Structure 1
């Protein structure tokens, strides 16, 4: 039976990938609501990873929200790319090793001290190196921001370095795909065509990404074998929507 699923993502291409793979996992054509970014793309929280983090921080009573929205939401999937943990100071502001007098009083994205005054260090020594450490840190940051008493219907996914890694995993036989930095630039958009598909440089075309998303879904089993983040999402969707234990 199809479900109603709310998606909080960095942008429209991530949204396409998540919809495609969740339908693949569940074997259903589900109904999706884009909770973030808002449809006019100029909404309250903004776009990208900051918009995702703000949404988690400022959305109160998320479990009440799931019941209040009509049709009632069965699950929420929240996505943020792992490259954020690799590159951005703000995401490390709340780490134990960051000695900051503003910690706990100012939400990192609303702090104006991120230049020379910011004590946060990237990479952060509090976390395990590599994609596993990045995923765990991203999951913890968003879960902390949510402040939800019940996470049983919420899945957080941190693709490393981005959802582009899942695209590469669907098309190419490469080892350690989630350790590649910026796979869009270094692999997918390195030439004008990627596996016969026209790619327009740094710009991610939604129509092109619809093709990529379908291939990710079609080869989802292979993607989960190559990407730990994909395997974790697969397990979470099955737990929430299919009542399967890990």
Structure 2
């Protein structure tokens, strides 16, 4: 058993990630939700920007932070959805193909996106799945100074893709953009699970989690991002 800290975009991601890690390892591990905080409007907020800010602010103190945590953290999981690479210009600010007069001067999260020279899809990371995973793992590792105690998860197009893979077994499911809106929350219910108002709620994802875990092998066959995450987790348990 290990103690795992999770830095993720939202509370629903945490629900699935902790269940999947237990499934991969065959152990009941202990988890601490670090980001977003229990109050999702906390210091860093939620979503991908919250993950970025947390990583940026902890890069120099990460090792000590993990030692000082109670209980001590064995390793950290950091999650960003692949759609962040697909949709968000700030994460491409350091790409070599981008020519910007404000690189290294202006914080990408504070930049004026309207005058941004970035054009999506990015020339370097525009390839769905493989490009998104490589790009965002590189971003997180650069923010955290390539720590060996970090496992980066980049579900593509989002973590909800793994849910759709588990329930529907769609081929090329990682190429379906916005699976929550287009598939899961498209109707009033999804496989007899009511999706009230189309809103993501942890209680709904707690109902998804057992099926995701039961069909994890199926998900890894359909999703490169799931295989990548599994490999990373298993390395932490060697």
Query: Offset of 1:97 from its aligned partner?
Result: 1.2
Q: Which moved more, 1:155-164 or 1:211-220?
A: 211-220
Report matched runs for 1:77-88 at 5 Å.
77-88=77-88
> RMSD between aligned alpha carbons?
1.2
Question: TM (normalized to structure 2)?
Answer: 0.96
- Structure 1 residue runs of 5 or longer lacking an equivalent are none
Q: For residues 228 and 14 of structure 1, what CA distance do their matches in structure 2 show?
A: 18
SS at match of 2:122: coil
2:185 is aligned, of 180, 189, 203, to 189
Answer yes or no: is 1:20 the counterpart of 2:19.
Answer: yes
Q: 2:129 aligns with which of 124, 131, 140?
A: 131
8 A contact 1:8–1:37 mirrored in 2: yes
| Cα distance in structure 1, aligned partners of 2:197 and 2:183 | 11
Equivalent residues, number: 237
Is the CA contact 1:92–1:122 (under 8 Å) kept in the aligned structure 2? Answer: no
TM norm structure 1:
0.93
Distance in 2, matches of 1:168 and 1:127, equals 24
Determine whether 1:101 maps to 2:97.
Answer: no
Q: 2:71 aligned with 1:64, yes or no?
A: no
Q: Structure 2: how far apart are the matches of 1:218 and 1:205?
A: 21
Which aligned runs of 4 or more in structure 1 are off by greater than 2 angstroms?
Answer: none
One of 143, 146, 152 as aligned partner of 1:145: 143
SS at structure 1 position matched to 2:32: strand
User: In the aligned structure 2, how far is the partner of 1:64 from the partner of 1:105?
Assistant: 29
Q: Which has the higher helix share?
A: 2
